[in-house]
Amino acid sequence: MLHSKMEAGFKNGVITLNEPKSVYYAGQEISGNVHFKLDTTLTFKAITLQITGAARVLWNDNETVKYHDKKYYGEVTYKGTEEYFNEVRILCGGKGASQLQPQSYTLSFKFQIPHTVPSSFKGNKGQVLYNIVAYIEFPDPLMPWQELTKAFTVIAPYNLYNNLPKINEPLKLVFDETLTSGCLCSPRPLNITIELPRSGFCPGDTIPIRVNAVNDSDVKVLSIILKIVVVSRYRSQTPRAELTSPEWLLVEGRTAPVAAHSRRSFVCDLILPRMMVYDLSKCSLIDVTYYFKAILKLSAWNGKRERSSEIKLGMIPTDKTTVTWGASIADQLPKNPPPAPGAPTVPGITTFDPGFNVTPGPRISWAFPAHVPSMVEIGFRTSNGEPNASYGFKAPYPPVEQVGMYLPTTQPPYPLSMPSAPSIK
């Protein structure tokens, strides 16, 4: 967020990266520049760069608590934070008050993303976000720091090749039912076998699904629905809980009906959309799972039957060791290939000689009161406004309304791992 009076600092400032779409593989190196222009002399304390990667989950739920034979109703906030890296490095200054003269400036940096981080992810209850923040700190502690922000995306391709040979084994769903069309009819068997050639696929793959139906019953199978769905799960740390979001459809197909006392065989092709598939196995707070589901729709009062099994979607197929993609998503990937597995990671942020002079600034003394964090209540509150001592407690945390998926107006550097840490925007 850029503050007012930008003529004193980051006027027309921008952070640029070597990848045009700001998309990187896990383990890849980021090269970037902080560009800004000064129209007047800038007196500052330090220009600092912070690069962060973290997962956050947050959701609210209404709960009822019984305490001393009374029921209390309140809203519980579930949240969690998992930090992957939080690197801070001074780009310019840092030795007391300094000055920069009016002109354009560029500060360069490098940073290698660790190999072990999860993919970027944005869900309705949680996110995995990666951000770069450059900020100017002024000698006057009451003067707001100025910031430039740049988000970047990390792709950690799920490797189907590493899960051989299990992932190449056929996947079967079997329906063995005994059905009747009425109270005067004898129950008779219905057997349907649905088979996938394997349980791991890549975006854009065509999945040939074989269906064999032996229907000796008096009940007609109206249709067999075949689909692949995605389910997201979120896990909080305070308090500990798990939330499963409603599934959403990825692709669907269906067969023709199977008449009573008949046998049918089908081959139904499901074509996976060409999309980004991310690996969140390194994230303990968020999980994304893919399921193959088969649903039988039956006549009369027999309703429907359902079977499902987990499948894997990845960016590295079972017959290769490198990322594969189609032309439709090639423009979403980094232009450089992913680094070799097991390659060493260079820790920290690397900076370079800025190539311009920083002159000492005037000595300034400031007297200001120390900030004392306010005490706020965390927990349930009864309808009359009195805290429930059994569930509430006090701490120097930010008010509940400030805890969310956005940055409050505090000043960096942001301590991501603390309970009172602001969220990444």
pLDDT in tens, 214-226: 999 989 999 999 9
Please indicate, yes or no, if residue 388 is contained in any of the structural domains.
no
Neighbours of 48 (CB within 10 A): 20
* 30 pLDDT more than 50: yes
User: Which whole number is the average pLDDT over 231-252?
Assistant: 95
In a domain, residue 122? The reply is yes
> 362 lies in a domain?
yes
Residue with tokens 């301590």: 415
Rounded Cα gap, residues 32 and 19, in angstroms: 9
136 within domain boundaries: yes
Separation CA 115–CA 118 (nearest Å): 9
Tokens of 155: 């792709």
* Number of residues that this document lists for the chain: 425
Domain count, the chain: 2
Q: How confident is the model at residue 118 (pLDDT cuts 50, 70, 90)?
A: very high
pLDDT above 50 for 155: yes
Residue 311 belongs to domain spanning: 161-323
260, pLDDT greater than 70: yes
User: In this structure, is residue 387 part of a structural domain?
Assistant: no
Q: Which helix (H) or strand (E) is 244 found in, with range? A: strand 240-244
Whether residues 13 and 51 share a domain: the answer is: yes
State the pLDDT at residue 342.
Answer: 73
Amino acid sitting at position 59: W
Residue % of the chain over a pLDDT of 90: 53
Which among 323, 354, 389 is the end of a domain? 323
**pLDDT at 404 > cutoff 70:** no
Q: What is the pLDDT of residue 396?
A: 35
> Is residue 49 located within the same domain as residue 186?
no
Highest mean pLDDT (candidates 58-67, 200-209, 383-392): 200-209
Query: Pairing between strand 304-313 and 286-298?
Result: antiparallel
Q: Do 312 and 234 have their domain in common?
A: yes
pLDDT over threshold 90, residue 207:
yes
Asked if omega into 413 is within 30° of 0 (cis), the reply is yes
In tens, the pLDDT along 72-88 reads 788 899 999 999 999 99
Query: Alpha-carbon distance 138 to 98, whole Å?
Result: 9
Same domain for 141 and 32, yes or no, is yes
161 φ, ψ (degrees, to nearest 5): -60, -35
Based on the domain organization, do 345 and 238 belong to the same domain? no
Token reading at 153: 């995306």
Which of residues 256, 288, 323 is at a domain's end? 323
Across-strand partners of 63?
74
Q: Which of 228-242, 267-281, 348-362 has the highest mean pLDDT?
A: 228-242
Q: Are residues 186 and 120 in the same domain?
A: no
Q: What is the CATH number of the domain that holds 31?
A: 2.60.40.640
Per-residue model confidence (pLDDT) at position 303: 87
Query: Average pLDDT for residues 108-112, to the nearest whole number?
Result: 96
Helix (H, G, I), strand (E, B) or coil at 161: helix
The single residue listed with the structure tokens 């008779």 is 188
232 and 129 in a single domain? The answer is no
Q: Are residues 205 and 351 in the same domain?
A: no
> pLDDT by residue (tens digit) across 324-376?
665 557 777 888 888 877 778 888 999 888 877 777 766 655 444 444 444 33
Do 12 and 136 reside in the same domain of the chain? Answer: yes
pLDDT at 73: 83
Q: Within 10 Å of residue 188's Cβ, how many Cβ atoms? A: 17
Q: Are residues 185 and 238 in the same domain?
A: yes
pLDDT at residue 371, rounded to an integer? 42
| One-letter identity of residue 126 | G
**226 belongs to a structural domain:** yes
Distance from C-alpha of 76 to C-alpha of 309, rounded to nearest angstrom: 33
Q: Is residue 276 domain-resident?
A: yes
Which strands sit side by side in the sheet containing 11-17, from one edge to the other?
11-17, 29-37, 104-112, 349-351
With respect to residue 189, please indicate whether it lies within any of the assigned structural domains: yes
Helix then strand then coil, in percent of the chain rounded to 5, is: 5, 50, 45
Q: What are phi and psi of 262, to 5 degrees?
A: -145, 170
Q: Are 245 and 111 found together in one domain?
A: no
Q: Where are the beta strands (DSSP E) in 113-162?
A: 121-122, 126-137, 146-155
According to DSSP, the residues that pair with 71 across neighbouring strands are 66
In terms of pLDDT, which residue wins out, 172 or 321?
Answer: 172
User: What pLDDT is attached to residue 347?
Assistant: 85
Positive or negative: CA dihedral 192, 198, 204, 207: negative
The structure tokens listed for 113 are 């993303």
Q: What are the two backbone dihedrals, phi and then psi, of residue 402, each rounded to the nearest 5 degrees?
A: -90, -10
Domain match, 91 and 183 both: no
